[in-house]
Amino acid sequence: DKIVYSFGGGTADGNGTMKNLLGGKGANLAEMARIGLPVPPGFTITTEVCTYYYAHGRTYPCTLDNDIKAGIAKMEEIVGNKFGDTKAMPLLVSVRSGARESMPGMMDTILNLGLNDETVVAMADATQNPRFAWDCYRRFIQMYGDVVLGVQKLPGEDHEPFETVIENLKHERYGKDILDSDMTAEDSQELVKRFKALVAERTGHEFPVCPWEQLQGAIGAVFGSWNNDRANVYRQKYGIPSEWGTAVNVQAMVFGNTGDESGSGVAFTRNPASGENVFYGEFLMNAQGEDVVAGVRTPDPVAELANVMPAAHATLSEIRQTLEQHFHDMQDFEFTIQDRKVWMLQTRNGKRTGVAAFRIACEMVEEGLIDWQTAVKRIPADQVDQLLTPIFSGNAIKEAKQIAHGLPAGPGAASGRVYLNAERCVEAADRGEKVLLVRLETSPEDLRGMIAAEGILTARGGVSSHAALVARQMGKVCVCGADALNIDYAARTITVNGETVKEGDYLSIDGTTGLVYLGKVDTAPSEIIQVLIDKTLAPEQSRAYQNFAKLMDWCSQATRMSVRTNADSPSQAEAAIAFGATGIGLCRTEHMFFEGDRIDFVRQMILATKKVDRVAAINKLLPFQKSDFKGIFKALKGLPATVRLLDPPLHEFLPQTKEQQRDLAEKFELRVEDIMRRVSELHEFNPMLGHRGCRLGIAYPEITEMQARAIIEAAIEVTEEEGFEVVPEIMVPLVAFKKELDIQKAVIDKVAAQVFEEKGKTIKYLVGTMIEIPRAAVTADQIAETAEFFSFGTNDLTQTGLGMSRDDSGAFLPKYQDLEIVKTNVFASIDQEGVGKLMEIAVELGRKTRPDIKLGICGEHGGDPASVKFCNKLGLTYVSCSPYRVPTARLAAAQAAL
């Protein structure tokens, strides 16, 4: 198999579709070369070599060496320079990682490779620019020393060792900190000397002088970095399997640091924060690409390039159009200008915020760039949440004291206690605090802190800085480059305009405007919530809402499954319907038992020792339950509702402390000892597997009778009062045996017949069951003889199927995820191989008995995009999830159908 793919000079061995083999970067470098964009030549070593490397004790296929030599030879031919040339301008290369999916900042790039004491002189002579040549050389030793040779901060050191050397030199020679770009050739030459000494001291070896040896080391480091800590943390967070591996790109260098006619930048074809269709991005003159992203100097917006170098700006604007026309998506690209000539170094589909994703998708459909199906497919379903997250409330913001502003890099509002490093941020979040991570700039080391934080605030860096990139991807609120902030890591304070903020104090940041406020600022609902739920904003006043609505309409056109909601109250049902739910998939009746005085009657019911007393207490509950159901049926306006009979074990309703028990005894004129006795009688060793679900209704049929009566009476009354038909779906929980369901169905049917007679009116109703016990799944053919519908209770089916209690899994499940024993958190995303298999069996058996059986899912998983996709594959009729997850589930269901 071919393991090295060349690109450049207007052609390429590979192309943009080969991301699995060439990585995202390599595939798109090839694609850009093919469509005639100016790409420096190079070659890509495939991800299969990475896989081979780890499978064979970190060694390479034997043909690799020759392929690399051939690859370099092609580059030499195109560029006209020789690798390692000591007489004329040498060919220098970058060595860049590139996985299938971009992993921002996770892997390490090495620039200017091929320099040594001789080639640097050749380069200085050939370019007549010694400052530039030595600048490249010292950068090379620094990057190579860090990434390949591992010369990094030792425990206890505050600064990167190379940075310390630079700082010392600047202070010795200039008595102050100067910009890197202001250093002279002599400065860089001296740095090279000191860097080499540092490397020798730290590693015990001289810095490698042979370019081929350098190249080999760099390639090894890229493959090695696939398994470093940072990469592992990132992969886990985004569920990227370790088998994928990374490719390595070796590419001829172009130079943004030759002087004032050169520069580097990062740009987006549209604004990735808002989605607006403008050329967006930033650049630095006289800089190599790393400088832009590292946030050391704050770059200028690309619009400014129109003044500095109009021709380059015009070329880039044209490239912007070409990229969108070709890739049909918003692109995030990296460029370098060398002596006024523009070079493209990377392009990829740009990460964007949820708001931007909706806007870009809608506008691209309008522009005819994509069709609506593509628009639906393109929006990551888990980004929908971002459109529903709070913003600062208008009043609170007027009162709040604005202390700084930066770039709006991740929209939304966040308030939290400030922490200046990732570690303390994580600790505080673990204590339950809401935290903001505030840094000069972030680096991949800060990832854990960023995950823990509500929002991220940096003092330096632009919209393509690490902080902005990661925040956008994680959907975090982020403000970056708020340069008025003076952050003192040692004192753990931020001073700004005469104010001092200490670690642990509150700050608030608005990632939509870029403003930073002192203290804690109250938040208000997002525009979409204001339009749909609060009705405080008219639809035509909100562009975000209009885009959202358009997308949701397309979802309805595409979807096969419908989306229902888990709701126990009229207001929840109304919210879910506003989000497009088509009914209730799970109405938990026990939640209603806790409201107001009802809990008293529930407790009387439980404490009753004689059936008559129990029935008396239960009958007092009837009017409450009935009015609850009426409220819900009215809110649903004829949409279907699945109502689950009482599920939790009874002791959950009894007071557990002595004091509460004494109060209860007083209230009901009972002896406290009797209450205590009953509580201890009801105690269970493992309540999850105890006296709950249909086992309650079997032991106390009067409970089922009351609930069935409440449901049927409510349905008849609402049908009569409102003029739409209510068809309740009565669901029996925790069934394992067909007989259990038979017994419960008989009770329900008997009550229904009684109510029909009393009211002189008949309605349709269904009786079905949860499938949440493996035994039920594997005997679903029998159960379907009685059940008219199944609803997969995947929370319990996961607990019972894996024999793993959700409440106790915290002790070991994280470790299981680390070790990839489980691919995902099984309580958030369905374990498709195991629990999913049980579902598949139940679907097949259920359909065998009852071909048109209605099938749904009502566990937490119903709002998880991967699980929704799986449910579509199984052919379920609907998924059901909490009201605010409905839009996510609709999008996921539509995507699954397309």
- Whichever of 103 and 555 has its CB closer to ligand ADP, that residue is 103
Least separation, in Å, of the C-beta of 36 and ligand ADP? 18
Give 568's contacts (C-beta < 8 A, 6+ positions apart): 587, 588, 589, 591, 592, 632
Closest to Mg ion by CB, 274 vs 769, is 769
First to last CA, the chain: 34
In sequence order, which residues have a C-beta less than 8 Å from that of residue 377 and are 6 or more positions away? 895, 898
858 is annotated as an active-site residue? yes
What the block records as the tokens of 158 is 């505050």
Residues β-bridged to residue 407: 480
58 is in an annotated binding site: no
- Backbone angle region of 766, left / alpha / beta, with phi > 0 → left and psi within -120 to 50 → alpha: beta
Annotated binding residue 246 = no
Q: For this structure, is 466 an active site residue?
A: yes
Within a 13 Å sphere around the CA of 205, how many CA atoms are in the beta-carbon half?
Answer: 9
Joined together, the tokens standing for residue 788 give 């008219």
Binding site for ligand ADP (CB under 6 A): 40, 94, 96, 105, 109, 111, 251-254, 264, 288-290, 334, 336, 345-346
Cα torsion 495, 498, 502, 505 to 10°: value is -120
Q: Is 540 annotated as a binding residue?
A: no
How far apart are CB 238 and Mg ion at their closest, in Å?
17
Judged by beta carbon, residue 289 or residue 514, the one nearer ligand ADP is 289
Q: Segment contacting Mg ion (CB under 5 A): 121-129, 143-151, 772-780, 839-847?
A: 772-780
Burial (CB < 10 A; 0-12, 13-18, 19+), residue 456, is buried
And the tokens for 262?
């050169």
* Burial bucket for residue 541 (CB in 10 Å: 0-12, 13-18, 19+): exposed
793 binds, among ligand ADP, Mg ion, none (CB under 5 to 8 A by kind): Mg ion
The binder of Mg ion chosen from 446, 503, 796, 860 (CB under 5 A)? 796
Among 793, 846, 863, 887, binds Mg ion (CB under 5 A): 793
Is residue 346 at the binding interface for Mg ion, with CB under 5 A as the rule?
yes
Stretch that binds Mg ion, among 122-130, 528-536, 673-681, 771-779 (CB under 5 A): 771-779
- Pick one of Mg ion, ligand ADP, none as the site partner of residue 796 (Cβ within 5 to 8 A by kind): Mg ion
Is 65 labeled as ligand-binding? Answer: no
For residues 44 and 245, the answer to whether their CB atoms sit within 8 Å is no
359 is in an annotated binding site: no
Which partner in Mg ion, ligand ADP, none is near 271 (CB below 5 to 8 A by kind)? Answer: none
Instruction: Tell me which stretch binds Mg ion (CB under 5 A): 256-264, 298-306, 505-513, 767-775.
Output: 767-775
Q: Please identify, using beta-carbon distances, which residue of 290 and 483 lies nearer to Mg ion.
A: 290
**SS3 of 91-147:** ECEEEEEEECCCCCCCCCCEEEECCCCCHHHHHHHHHCCHHHHHHHHHHHHHHHHHH
Helix (H) or strand (E) holding 53: helix 47-55
Least distance from Mg ion to the Cβ atom of residue 326, Å: 19
Taking CB under 5 A as the binding criterion, the range among 30-38, 42-50, 156-164, 790-798 that sits at the site for Mg ion is 790-798
Active-site choice (313, 362, 425, 466): 466
Length, in residues, of the chain: 898
CB of 372 to ligand ADP, least distance (A): 32
* 161 interface partner picked from ligand ADP, Mg ion, none, CB below 5 to 8 A per type: none
User: Of Mg ion, ligand ADP, none, which one does residue 264 interact with (CB within 5 to 8 Å by kind)?
Assistant: ligand ADP
Nearer Cβ to ligand ADP (289/640): 289
Is position 772 annotated in a ligand binding site?
Answer: yes
Q: Cβ contacts of residue 400 below 8 Å, gap of 6+?
A: 392, 508, 517, 518, 519, 521
771 and 792 in contact (C-beta within 8 Å)? yes
With CB under 5 to 8 Å by kind, the binding choice for 386 among Mg ion, ligand ADP, none is none
Using CB under 5 A as the binding criterion, the count of chain residues that bind Mg ion stands at: 4
**Helices and strands, counts by H and E, the chain:** 36, 34
- Distance CA(59)–CA(45), nearest Å, equals 14
Return phi, psi of residue 566, to 5°: -95, 110
**Does 503 sit near Mg ion (CB under 5 A)?**
no
Catalytic entry in 858, 861, 871, 881? 858
Cβ closest to Mg ion, residue 97 vs residue 572: 97
Q: What angle do CA 237, 884, 102 make, to 5 degrees?
A: 25
Question: In this complex, which beta carbon is closest to ligand ADP, that of residue 109 or of residue 661?
Answer: 109
Q: One-letter amino acid identity for 668? A: F
Nearer to ligand ADP, 470 or 584 (CB): 470
Taking the complex as a whole, the smallest distance from the CB of residue 416 to ligand ADP amounts, in Å, to 28
CA distance 855 to 860: 16
Compute the distance between CA of residue 345 and CA of residue 534 in angstroms, rounded to an integer. Answer: 47
**Quick one: 529 or 734, whose CB is closer to Mg ion?**
734
Nearest to 653 by CA among 599, 592, 697, 692: 599
Partner from Mg ion, ligand ADP, none binding residue 40, C-beta < 5-8 Å depending on class:
ligand ADP
Q: Which is nearer to Mg ion, 94 or 116 (CB)?
A: 94
Tell me how far, at minimum, the Cβ of 33 lies from Mg ion, in Å: 17
Q: Is 697 annotated as a binding residue?
A: no
Residue with token string 């009482």: 646
Q: Smallest gap, in angstroms, from Cβ of residue 466 to ligand ADP? A: 9
- As measured in angstroms, the least distance from the Cβ of 118 to ligand ADP is 22
Paired tokens of 438: 């505030």
Distance in Å, CB of 153 to ligand ADP, minimum? 20
Residues 713-752 as x/- pattern, contact with Mg ion by CB under 5 A:
----------------------------------------
Structure tokens at 437: 């991570």
- 347 binding Mg ion? (CB under 5 A): no
Contact segment (CB under 5 A) with Mg ion among 6-14, 110-118, 233-241, 766-774 equals 766-774
The pair of three-digit structure tokens given for residue 150, joined into one six-digit string: 């591992």
**Site stretch for Mg ion (CB under 5 A), options 338-346, 428-436, 551-559, 626-634:** 338-346
- Rounded to 5°, the CA angle 359-365-366 comes to 90
Residue type, 401: K
Residues whose CB falls within 8 Å of the CB of residue 230, separated by 6 or more in sequence, listed in order: 105, 106, 444, 445, 447
Q: Which helix (H) or strand (E) holds 520?
A: none
Binding site for Mg ion (CB under 5 A): 346, 772, 793, 796
Active site residues: 466, 858
Binding-site sequence positions for substrate: 588, 644, 772, 793-796
Binding-site sequence positions for Mg(2+): 772, 796
Binding-site sequence positions: 588, 644, 772, 793-796
